[in-house]
C-alpha cells in the first residue's frame, strides 16, 4: 500500500508600519516584502504503527532569517506502541514540534493561523527558533473519554538556538558560542464535545549555555520557564480564544551586567467570526509585560538608560481573511501598538531609536498544495 503523502505551502507578505521596522524596512518607502515562507513536507508509513514525517522550510523574516537558510523544520519517527478503541500511546524520535500553547505545532503553515501574526506575547517571532522544535524524544498518550479526548505529551531534548535568541537573551550576538542544553516540555490538553471546548496547560524548562569569548562575560547559563494556560470555545460561526502565560527568565554565571532573574506575564483575548464559507474576521487584544515587578519599565529605564516602553507591549489587532479556494488564502490585518517589548532587533542600540506608539498594516497571500 502506498502511504506516501507530500504537501507544501508558500506565502508572501507586505508589511507597512508608520514608525518601527518589523521584518525588514517596513517604515520606509512602500514597506517591506521581506516576509516569505516556503515549506515542503512528506510522510509515509513503513508499518501500520510507524509514521515517518518531516518538513523542510525556507523563510525570509527581515534580518532574523533568510531564504537561502533552508532548515529541517521537523523530522520524526513516530512509533505507536499501543492502540485500542480508547487509548493511543506512542513516542516520537528526532526533531519534534514543541506542544507550546494552542498554535505552536502548526504555526509555520500560514493557512492554519487565525491571523498573519500570532499573538506575539505568547508566540514570539524573535525567539521563534527555540520555541518551535527540539532535537530529542517526545512521548504521548491519548485517551477517549465519554465527552472528549484527553492528551498528555512529554518531551525532552535540546532546543535550537540562533543569533536572534542570543540577542534576546543578552542584547547582542557576539559574546561566544550559544547553544541549547537539556530541556523539557509537557502539555495536558482536553478537547470536549468534538473540539467545541479546548483546555490546555503547558509547562517548559528551556535551557541554553554560553561558552564566552576570551573578552566575553564568562561562561554561564540561560533558562526560560513558562507556564501557559489555554482555552478555546468554538461555535459554528465564531470562536473565542484566550491564553495566559507566566514566564521566569534567568541568566547566571556571567559578569553582573549579564545576570538577571525576573518573571514576565503575557495574555491575550481573541474573537474570530466566520462571516460565511469564504470570509473570517478577527479582533484581538494582546498584552506583554517583560517583568511583573516593573510593569511600566521605569526601573529598567533608570538602570539602563533605555526607553521604558521596550519592556512591554499592548497590541490591538483587527484582521480579515478571504479563502476563495480551499488552497488559497488572502489576509490583511492592522495592529495598533503601544510599546516594543516583542519587536525584533539586531543590537540593543536600536532600542534607543524605537517609537512608543506605532501602527502596522500587513497583507499576505498564501497557497497550500
**Position 206 in a domain:** yes
Separation CA 329–CA 159 (nearest Å)? 31
**Position 18 in a domain:** no
Separation CA 310–CA 292 (nearest Å)? 14
pLDDT for the residue numbered 1: 59
Separation CA 354–CA 19 (nearest Å)? 8
pLDDT for the residue numbered 96: 97
Strands (DSSP E) found in the chain: 5-17, 32-47, 50-61, 71-83, 87-97, 133-145, 148-159, 176-180, 183-192, 197-212, 220-234, 238-252, 260-274, 279-289, 312-325, 328-338, 357-368
pLDDT for the residue numbered 168: 86
pLDDT for the residue numbered 81: 95
**Position 49 in a domain:** no
pLDDT for the residue numbered 169: 85
**Position 134 in a domain:** yes
Which pTM does this prediction carry?
0.94
pLDDT for the residue numbered 126: 87
Separation CA 269–CA 4 (nearest Å)? 39
**Position 360 in a domain:** yes
Per the structure, the complete domain to which residue 189 belongs is given by 80-368
CATH of the domain at 201: 2.40.160.10
Separation CA 121–CA 267 (nearest Å)? 7
**pLDDT one digit per residue (tens) for the chain, 369 residues:** 589 999 999 999 999 999 899 999 999 989 999 999 999 999 999 999 999 999 999 999 988 888 888 999 999 999 999 999 999 999 999 999 999 999 999 998 999 999 999 999 999 998 899 999 999 999 999 999 999 999 999 999 999 998 888 888 888 888 889 999 999 999 999 999 999 999 999 999 999 999 989 888 889 999 999 999 999 999 999 999 999 999 999 999 998 888 999 999 999 999 999 998 899 999 999 999 999 999 999 999 999 999 999 999 999 999 999 999 999 999 999 999 999 999 988 877 788 999 999 999 999 999 999
What SS3 state is found at 28?
coil
Is the Cβ–Cβ distance between 307 and 351 less than 8 Å? yes
Q: Smallest Cα–Cα separation from 333: which of 9, 11, 14, 19?
A: 14
151, three cell numbers: 492528551
What SS3 state is found at 296?
coil
**Position 50 in a domain:** no
**Position 151 in a domain:** yes
**Position 363 in a domain:** yes
Count the domains in the chain: 1
CB neighbours of 134 closer than 8 A, spacing ≥ 6? Answer: 95, 96, 98, 155, 156, 157, 158, 159, 160, 180, 183, 185
DSSP element (H, E) containing 169 = helix 163-170
CB neighbours of 2 closer than 8 A, spacing ≥ 6? Answer: none
Amino acid at each position: 500500500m502506498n502511504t506516501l503523502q507530500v504537501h507544501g505551502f508558500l506565502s508572501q507578505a507586505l508589511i507597512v508600519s508608520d514608525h518601527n521596522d518589523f521584518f525588514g524596512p517596513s517604515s520606509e518607502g512602500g514597506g517591506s516584502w521581506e516576509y516569505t515562507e516556503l515549506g515542503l513536507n512528506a510522510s509515509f508509513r513503513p508499518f501500520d504503527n510507524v509514521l515517518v514525517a518531516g518538513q523542510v522550510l525556507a523563510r525570509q523574516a527581515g534580518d532574523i532569517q533568510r531564504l537561502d537558510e533552508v532548515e529541517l523544520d521537523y523530522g520524526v519517527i513516530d512509533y505507536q506502541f499501543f492502540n485500542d478503541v480508547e487509548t493511543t500511546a506512542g513516542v516520537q524520535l528526532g526533531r519534534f514540534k514543541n506542544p507550546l500553547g494552542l498554535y505552536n505545532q502548526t504555526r509555520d503553515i500560514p493557512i492554519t493561523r487565525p491571523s498573519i501574526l500570532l499573538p506575539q506575547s505568547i508566540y514570539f517571532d524573535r525567539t521563534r527558533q527555540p520555541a518551535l522544535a527540539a532535537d530529542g524524544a517526545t512521548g504521548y498518550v491519548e485517551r477517549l473519554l465519554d465527552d472528549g479526548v484527553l492528551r498528555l505529551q512529554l518531551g525532552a531534548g535540546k532546543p535550537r538556538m540562533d543569533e536572534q535568541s542570543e540577542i534576546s537573551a543578552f542584547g547582542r550576538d557576539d559574546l561566544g558560542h550559544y547553544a541549547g542544553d537539556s530541556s523539557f516540555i509537557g502539555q495536558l490538553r482536553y478537547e470536549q464535545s468534538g473540539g467545541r471546548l479546548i483546555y490546555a496547560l503547558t509547562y517548559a524548562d528551556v535551557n541554553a549555555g554560553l561558552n564566552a569569548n576570551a573578552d566575553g562575560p564568562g561562561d554561564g547559563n540561560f533558562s526560560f520557564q513558562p507556564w501557559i494556560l489555554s482555552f478555546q470555545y468554538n461555535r459554528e460561526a465564531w470562536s473565542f480564544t484566550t491564553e495566559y502565560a507566566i514566564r521566569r527568565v534567568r541568566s547566571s554565571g556571567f559578569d553582573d551586567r549579564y545576570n538577571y532573574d525576573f518573571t514576565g506575564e503575557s495574555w491575550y483575548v481573541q474573537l474570530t467570526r466566520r462571516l460565511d464559507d469564504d470570509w473570517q474576521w478577527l479582533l484581538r487584544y494582546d498584552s506583554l509585560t517583560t517583568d511583573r515587578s516593573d510593569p511600566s519599565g521605569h526601573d529598567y529605564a533608570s538602570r539602563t538608560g533605555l526607553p521604558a516602553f521596550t519592556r512591554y507591549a499592548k497590541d490591538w489587532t483587527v484582521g480579515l481573511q478571504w479563502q476563495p479556494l480551499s488552497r488559497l488564502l488572502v489576509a490583511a490585518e492592522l495592529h495598533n501598538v503601544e510599546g516594543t517589548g516583542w519587536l525584533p532587533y539586531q543590537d540593543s542600540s536600536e532600542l534607543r531609536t524605537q517609537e512608543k506608539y506605532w501602527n502596522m498594516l500587513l497583507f499576505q497571500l498564501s497557497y497550500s498544495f
